[in-house]
């Protein structure tokens, strides 16, 4: 590899590193702007940063070697190889893009009114395999109905091993969902903001059952998507 090629790789690395640094500042938002501190703090808050934590720590050391041990303009002692440069450029792209939460949300949301028969819900569970459903009353979202609460209701009302659901409405089961709060946001919310919502709730020992995304974040709008804590855990941010 000639000197010009090495210089180009080093410059590309520096550009990508600075892009990552800028993205970390925007995401983590703490007073300390040191790269390694942003990575350390951010990894504790956001899965996306935790995914790249070890790589970013290595790249911070490489960046220091490139910048602080430069012999002259355009001449670097430390030389990043093409694989490293391509990888940090991909990380920069992932961290810098909008990462709208709707991209990881469960879409084609099935939702019901409180006056609907619970049999409609059980049919949806069978058909779609969903376990959580937004519930509306007077065209306003009032919470989520979960399969777990349906099972609990059935267990408490079972007689001789049987339970009759023919006259049961969603409102009857919603009595079991009082301690399952939800949050509603507009479609511009990003993944980092959703992670922060769950994190703050966890610190307050308050469980959020899900985040519902609508067009403008209004409770009287149809859901565009729903995000649970499991959706955040299952995000795959890996890059080749």
Q: Report the alpha-carbon distance of residue 44 to residue 117 in Å, rounded.
A: 43
Residue 237 confidence (pLDDT) = 65
In the chain, pLDDT over 70 holds for what percent of residues? Answer: 89
Residue 240 confidence (pLDDT) = 59
Would the pTM of this model clear 0.85, i.e. be above it? no
CB 99 within 8 A of CB 191: yes
- At residue 236, the 3 state secondary structure works out as coil
Q: What is the mean pLDDT of residues 112-116?
A: 96
Q: Taking the CA of residue 98 as centre, how many other CA atoms within 13 Å lie in the half-sphere pointing to its CB?
A: 8
Residue 77 confidence (pLDDT) = 55
Angle at 138 between CA 142 and CA 167, to 5 degrees: 85
Whether 1 has a pLDDT exceeding 80, the answer reads no
Higher pLDDT, 196 or 121: 121
Q: What is the mean pLDDT of residues 128-155?
A: 92
**Phi, psi for 20 (deg, rounded to 5):** -65, -45
CB neighbour class for 156 (10 Å; exposed up to 12, middle 13-18, buried from 19): exposed
pLDDT tens digits for range 149-199:
999 999 999 888 889 999 999 999 998 877 668 899 999 999 888 988 888
Whether 116 has a pLDDT exceeding 70, the answer reads yes
CB 184 within 8 A of CB 173: no
Helix, strand, coil abundance in the chain, percent, nearest 5: 50, 15, 30
- At residue 12, the 3 state secondary structure works out as helix
Domains in the chain, CATH or no CATH each: 3-93 (no CATH), 103-233 (3.10.580.10)
pLDDT tens digits for range 47-104:
889 989 999 999 999 998 887 655 555 555 567 889 999 999 999 998 988 788 998 8
Higher pLDDT, 6 or 141: 141
pLDDT tens digits for range 14-47:
999 999 999 999 999 999 999 999 999 999 988 8
- In 10 A of CB 154, how many CB atoms? 17
């Amino acid at each position: 590899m000639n000197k010009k090629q090495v210089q180009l790789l080093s410059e590309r690395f520096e550009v990508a590193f600075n892009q990552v640094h800028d993205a970390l500042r925007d995401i983590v938002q703490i007073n300390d702007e040191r790269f390694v501190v942003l990575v350390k703090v951010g990894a504790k808050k956001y899965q996306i940063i935790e995914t790249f934590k070890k790589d970013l720590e290595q790249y911070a050391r490489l960046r220091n070697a490139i910048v602080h041990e430069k012999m002259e303009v355009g001449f670097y002692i430390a030389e990043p190889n093409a694989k490293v440069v391509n990888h940090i450029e991909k990380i920069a792209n992932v961290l810098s893009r909008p990462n709208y939460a709707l991209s990881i949300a469960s879409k084609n949301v099935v939702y019901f009114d409180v006056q609907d028969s619970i049999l409609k819900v059980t049919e949806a569970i069978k058909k779609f395999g969903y376990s959580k459903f937004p519930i509306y009353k007077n065209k306003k979202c009032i919470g989520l109905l979960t399969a777990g609460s349906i099972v609990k209701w059935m267990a408490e009302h079972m007689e001789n091993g049987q339970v009759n659901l023919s006259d049961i409405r969603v409102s009857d089961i919603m009595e079991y969902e009082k301690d399952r709060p939800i949050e509603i946001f507009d479609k511009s919310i990003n993944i980092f903001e959703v992670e922060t919502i769950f994190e703050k709730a966890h610190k307050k020992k308050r469980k959020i059952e899900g985040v519902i995304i609508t067009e403008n974040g209004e409770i009287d709008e149809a859901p565009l998507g729903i995000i649970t804590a499991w959706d955040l855990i299952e995000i795959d941010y890996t890059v080749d």
